Amino acid sequence: METLGLLGDGMLIALQPINLLLIVIGVTVGLFIGAMPGLGSVNGVAILLPITFLVPPTGAIIFLAAIYYGAMYGGAISSITLGIPGASTAVATTFDGRPLAMQGRASLALVTAAIASFIGGTVANIIFTGFAPLLAGVALSFGPPEIFALMLLAFATFVGLGSDDIPKTIFSICFGLVLGAIGFDQISGAPRLVLFDITGFLQGIGFLVLAIGVYGLGEMIWTIEQTRGDVENTTPRMTAKGMAQDTAESLRRGWRGTTIGSLIGFFVGILPAAGATPASLMSYGVTKMISRRPQDFGRGSVDGVAAPEAANNSASTGSMLPMLTLGIPGSPTTAILLGGMVIWGLTPGPRLFVDQTEFVWGLIGSFYISNVAALIINLAFIPVFIWMLRMPFTILAPVIFVLSIIGGYAATRDMFDIWMILIFGIGAFVLRRMDYPLAPAVLAIVLGPIAEPTLRQSLLLSGGDPMIFLNRPIAAPITIIAISLILLPLVKVFRKKKPA
């Protein structure tokens, strides 16, 4: 009850005209930053940090959080309309969002993304409001073995029960793991897999570089090859009635993904080292696994759009939790927010909730308001984004190519990354011709660099004994579920043979 009172006060703070204005501006700016390939919420928040010194700290963090939220919504836009992931958090959205757009259902995909984002964000806010201090303890109880077990589970969801060819999925995962291992070894600091002594490899393969290559460029080549440039241009009409129908359809066909994404997203978001990108990929995997129509995934499943979008919004609220309660940022963007808080004279950490109630609840209240604002603004802009799709493919393809190159270059300003995008684009096209699923490789390059150090830290803790994953109360059940998921397809094969 006391919490509700505090939340009410917080919402009133967020609804003050100046704060409300900051929310609307922040969400709109964030939406466009998120939609631009190569510009993620990190850049947006860093570039706009100076503006926040003009307003009181509560207004400042509300503004930054609104940008962060807006960018999570915006990332989906270019993923769906152009097939280029707008931000790393929206890579999983391309898996099904792009096929839906190619089928002339871009409006459905965009509406689904907006609704799922809204629900994900709201569910996360409610969990956050009710259980923040308690969950801070949960985040702390996840040491290296628990995190590794969770990573294992994520890989298992992509292998087990999938409709794809299992050996090809495993090959794809291994390929991603090798790419993720390029660069410096986190534990010893030694360089490894520096192919041909090209210094660019020392920096490792950027995840966004792979994603833009595979999805932006690879997808474009694929479309050209499939259609010979003769892309059907369905002209979706965005009317109030059409939008209402899309909303109903997205809820009907995407509720599973939305629910799973909301819950997994929040939980993964609060964990150290994770953040919104792994959260969205893991939610996609789990949703596909429990779906009754897993064969639709990757071919335009509404659940496949809803899950990652609900997850990345939920995770962005989740990653605020370790930042506020422990002073540990869960993502690069929250790290910048943390820097801002320090200069405003606030010490994030276990004492913040006690000492700075107005600030904390003002911020939490603003999460709710930002979410509503983001949904409305996003829905209002959907017709504009749809209109872009009506351009002939002969114009759209060069635009996609140029945006892919700019997006890849913007992050590091290194020509090496552009060569990698071209190589990945062509490589992805070839692999796709041979029916290799590419999503597992993308998952592996994100999760590999988290899984590897936690595996090695765990084994150092146990003196080399792998039983550490089965001896600890939290790690054990996760590990057992993960291993069963990997073994399940084998059992299925065995069963199929018996009755015959």
Partner 1 sequence: MSFTKRAVLKLSCAALVAFSPLPALAQDWEPRRPIDFVIMAGPGGGADQIARFIQSVAERYDLTSRPLVPNNQGGGSGAEALLHLNNANDPDHTILVTLNSFFTTPLRQANLGIDIQTFTPVAMMGVDPFVLWVHRDSGITNFDQWLETVRGMNGDYVMGGTGSGQEDSIVIAFLSNAYDLDITYIPYDGGGAVARDLAGQQIMATVNNPAEAKGFYEAGDVVPLLAFSDERLPAFPDIPTIRELGHDFSYANQRAVVGAPGMSDEAAAYYQAVFTQVYESPEWQGYLESESLSPLWMSPEEQRAYWDTQVANHRDLLASLGQ
Q: CA angle 190-193-195, nearest 5°?
A: 130
- How far is Cα 244 from Cα 248, in angstroms, rounded to an integer? 6
Contacting residue, 20, 25, 46, 372, with partner 1 by CB under 8 A: 46
DSSP 172-195: HHHHHHHHHH-EE-TTT--EE--G
Q: Give the residue ranges of DSSP H helices in 271-331.
A: 276-290, 302-318, 320-326
For 42, 193, 208, 209, 211, the CA distances from 408, given in Å and listed in that order, are 15, 22, 7, 6, 9
For 25, 86, 95, 384, 390, the CA distances from 102, given in Å and listed in that order, are 32, 18, 12, 17, 11
Contacting residue, 8, 229, 350, 477, with partner 1 by CB under 8 A: 350
Contacting residue, 19, 43, 94, 316, with partner 1 by CB under 8 A: 43
Closest separation between CB of residue 453 and partner 1, Å?
A: 7
User: Residue 347 interacts with partner 1 (CB under 8 A)?
Assistant: yes
User: Residue 254 interacts with partner 1 (CB under 8 A)?
Assistant: no
User: Residue 9 interacts with partner 1 (CB under 8 A)?
Assistant: no
Closest separation between CB of residue 325 and partner 1, Å?
A: 9
**Region for residue 413 given its phi and psi (left: phi exceeds 0; alpha: psi -120 to 50; beta: otherwise):** left
Number of Cβ within a 10 Å radius of residue 344: 15
User: Residue 489 interacts with partner 1 (CB under 8 A)?
Assistant: no
- How far is Cα 367 from Cα 128, in angstroms, rounded to an integer? 10
Closest separation between CB of residue 84 and partner 1, Å?
A: 22
Q: Binding to partner 1 (CB under 8 A): which residues in 51-80?
A: 53
User: Residue 336 interacts with partner 1 (CB under 8 A)?
Assistant: yes
Contacting residue, 12, 342, 423, 493, with partner 1 by CB under 8 A: 342
Encode burial over 177-198: b for 16+ CB neighbours within 10 A, e otherwise.
bebbbbbeeeeeeeeeeeeeee
Of the ranges 3-11, 180-188, 224-232, 476-484, which one interacts with partner 1 (CB under 8 A)? Answer: 180-188
Contacting residue, 55, 335, 397, 483, with partner 1 by CB under 8 A: 335
Of 163 and 462, nearer to partner 1 (C-beta) is: 462
Of 240 and 354, nearer to partner 1 (C-beta) is: 354
Under 8 Å between Cβ of 175 and 200: no
Closest separation between CB of residue 22 and partner 1, Å?
A: 17
Of 184 and 255, nearer to partner 1 (C-beta) is: 184
Closest separation between CB of residue 455 and partner 1, Å?
A: 12
- How far is Cα 309 from Cα 115, in angstroms, rounded to an integer? 9
Closest separation between CB of residue 416 and partner 1, Å?
A: 9
Of 165 and 355, nearer to partner 1 (C-beta) is: 355
User: Residue 327 interacts with partner 1 (CB under 8 A)?
Assistant: yes
Query: Tokens for 344?
Result: 């405003």
Closest separation between CB of residue 335 and partner 1, Å?
A: 4
Of 125 and 479, nearer to partner 1 (C-beta) is: 479
Closest separation between CB of residue 80 and partner 1, Å?
A: 28
Instruction: Specify the amino acid at residue 108.
Output: L
User: Residue 461 interacts with partner 1 (CB under 8 A)?
Assistant: yes
- How far is Cα 305 from Cα 349, in angstroms, rounded to an integer? 35
436, 432, 487: which is closest to 170 by C-alpha?
Answer: 436
Three-class SS state of 299: coil
For 31, 69, 121, 208, the CA distances from 373, given in Å and listed in that order, are 11, 10, 12, 28
List Cβ<8 Å contacts ≥24 apart for 425-431. Answer: 425/213, 425/214, 425/216, 425/217, 425/218, 425/220, 425/221, 426/217, 426/218, 426/221, 427/213, 427/218, 428/213, 428/214, 428/215, 428/217, 428/218, 429/218, 429/221, 429/222, 429/225, 431/172
Mark residues 376-415: x for contact with partner 1 by CB under 8 A, - for none: -------------------------------------xx-
Of 41 and 287, nearer to partner 1 (C-beta) is: 41
Closest separation between CB of residue 363 and partner 1, Å?
A: 17
Of 274 and 438, nearer to partner 1 (C-beta) is: 274
Q: How many amino acids of this chain bind partner 1 (CB under 8 A)?
A: 53
Three-class SS state of 233: coil
User: Residue 357 interacts with partner 1 (CB under 8 A)?
Assistant: no
121, 155, 424: which is closest to 282 by C-alpha?
Answer: 155
Q: Binding to partner 1 (CB under 8 A): which residues in 187-216?
A: 187-191, 199, 202-204
Mark residues 435-454: x for contact with partner 1 by CB under 8 A, - for none: ------------------x-
User: Residue 30 interacts with partner 1 (CB under 8 A)?
Assistant: no
Of 383 and 453, nearer to partner 1 (C-beta) is: 453
Closest separation between CB of residue 44 and partner 1, Å?
A: 11
Of 145 and 304, nearer to partner 1 (C-beta) is: 145
- How far is Cα 117 from Cα 77, in angstroms, rounded to an integer? 12
Residues in the site for partner 1, rule: CB under 8 A?
A: 43, 46-47, 49-50, 53, 139-144, 183-191, 199, 202-204, 272-273, 322, 326-329, 331-332, 335-336, 338-340, 342-343, 347-351, 413-414, 453, 457, 460-461, 463
